[in-house]
Amino acid sequence: MNEFREALDATISHLESLKLAGVTHVPVRRETLEALSRPVAAPQAAAAPADMFAERIHTAGSTKAGQMASLRAQGLACVKCKHLAASRTQVVFGVGNPDAELMFVGEAPGADEDARGEPFVGRAGQLLTKIIETMGFKRSDVYIGNVLKCRPNMPEGESGNRQPADPEMQTCLPWLHAQIDIIQPKAIVALGAVALRGLLPELSGGITKLRGRWLLYRNIPMMPTYHPAFVLRQYTMQNRRLIWEDMLAVLERLGRPITPKMQNYFKSE
Ligand code: URA
């Protein structure tokens, strides 16, 4: 995608997010209005893509499952980040239903995911699974993916996890964009700041400010919320209630049933 298209998409996405948030007018300077009223030359057809990676992601298959299988086969063979390809046990591509109406996007695999080859199977994953099931879905009903498909490597002798670096995110994000293009979910949940920044890099404001507010990713409603690992680290009633309120908003948007028990989940504690 060329820069013109990216800038246009980012602008449209930003304006639609504002609209969803209830903003009806935006101030525009006179010079901007004059510039907008002048015809623009159509952008030049892109020459050979600067990044040959863009050329390689094309998927075969007439069904979403077929397209995802084709994409996955390419993803599993990716060695673009040499250091991650060398340190990983396996690529953690994504799991779930390619026809899902709801998709969850996390940050990157941790040690448990790297060992199992599946996103969100460690402690944070158990909390996410509980949330998904409390929403009335099975884990296999939704699709779960990450910004990074490989576990961020740790310095020799150090355990734990580290956040993805920007170049790693830029290299890996085309896989996530391609996954979303195939699934075309009715809603996306961005789990935490990295997922939010990966999908909408043009937004300013952190997860604490933006969680609970509908945004748009390429015309798909997106709900940013806290990452389950954050909620586990700061396991307060307030944080658990906020993430659950965000999920209730998602259910409402999808037109899914919300039982009184769901509605009162935290009130009954
Ligand atoms: N955290 C993430 O963001 N993704 C995983 O898959 C696991 C933990």
Tell me: the pLDDT tens digits for 228-246? Answer: 999 999 999 999 999 999 9
Token digits of residue 72: 């996955």
Res 267 pLDDT > 70: yes
Distance of alpha carbon 248 from alpha carbon 203, whole angstroms: 24
Ligand 1 mean position, distance from CA 124 (Å): 7
Query: Which residue puts its alpha carbon closest to atom 7 of ligand 1?
Result: 120
Cα(132) to ligand 1 centroid in Å equals 15
Express each pLDDT in 156-194 by its tens digit.
888 889 999 999 999 999 999 999 999 999 999 999 999
Mutate to test the pocket of ligand 1, among 127, 146, 179, 230 (most ligand atoms within 8 A of CB): 146
- Which pLDDT score, from 0 to 100, does residue 15 have? 60
Choice from 120, 123, 132 to test ligand 1 binding pocket (greatest atom count within 8 A of CB): 120
Ligand 1 pocket residues where CB is under 6 Å: 106-110, 113, 119-120, 122, 124-125, 146, 229
Using a 10 angstrom Cβ sphere, with 0-12 exposed, 13-18 middle and 19 or more buried, the burial of residue 237 is exposed
Q: What is the pLDDT of residues 53-106, one digit of tens each?
A: 444 577 778 999 999 999 999 999 999 999 999 999 999 999 999 999 999 999
Q: How far is the CA of 92 from the centre of ligand 1 (A)?
A: 10
For residue 239, give both structure tokens.
């944080």
Mutate to test the pocket of ligand 1, among 105, 107, 118, 207 (most ligand atoms within 8 A of CB): 107
* 3-class secondary-structure state, position 159: coil
Q: Measure Cα distances from 17 to 84, 201, 210, 212, 251 in Å.
A: 34, 13, 11, 12, 19
Say whether pLDDT at 131 is over 60. yes
Q: Which CATH class is domain 2-21+64-264?
A: alpha beta
Write out the two tokens for 191.
Answer: 């789990």
Is 26 or 112 the better-scoring residue by pLDDT?
Answer: 112
| Angstrom distance (rounded) from CA 246 to CA 223 | 7
Domain ranges of the chain: 2-21+64-264
Q: 44 is written with which tokens?
A: 């030049």
For residue 145, report the distance from its CA to the centre of ligand 1, in Å: 8
Provide mean pLDDT across the span 211-221.
97
158 Cβ neighbours under 8 A, 6+ residues apart: none
The reported pTM is 0.81
Output the CA 117–ligand 1 centroid distance in Å.
Answer: 11
**Ligand 1 atom at minimal distance to the Cα of residue 107:** 3
Find the 38 Cα to ligand 1 centroid distance in Å. Answer: 47
Helix (H) or strand (E) holding 148: none
- Element spanning 61, H or E: none
> How much helix, strand and coil, in percent to the nearest 5, is found in the chain?
45, 10, 45
pLDDT value of residue 40 = 47
Instruction: Over range 196-213, report the average pLDDT.
Output: 95
Instruction: Kindly state the DSSP code that residue 205 receives in the 8-state scheme.
Output: S
| % of the chain beyond a pLDDT of 90 | 72
Examine the pLDDT at 45 and tell me if it is beyond 50: no
* pLDDT of 16 above 90: no
CA of 120 to the centre of ligand 1 (A): 5
Nearest to 154 by CA among 140, 170, 165, 142: 165
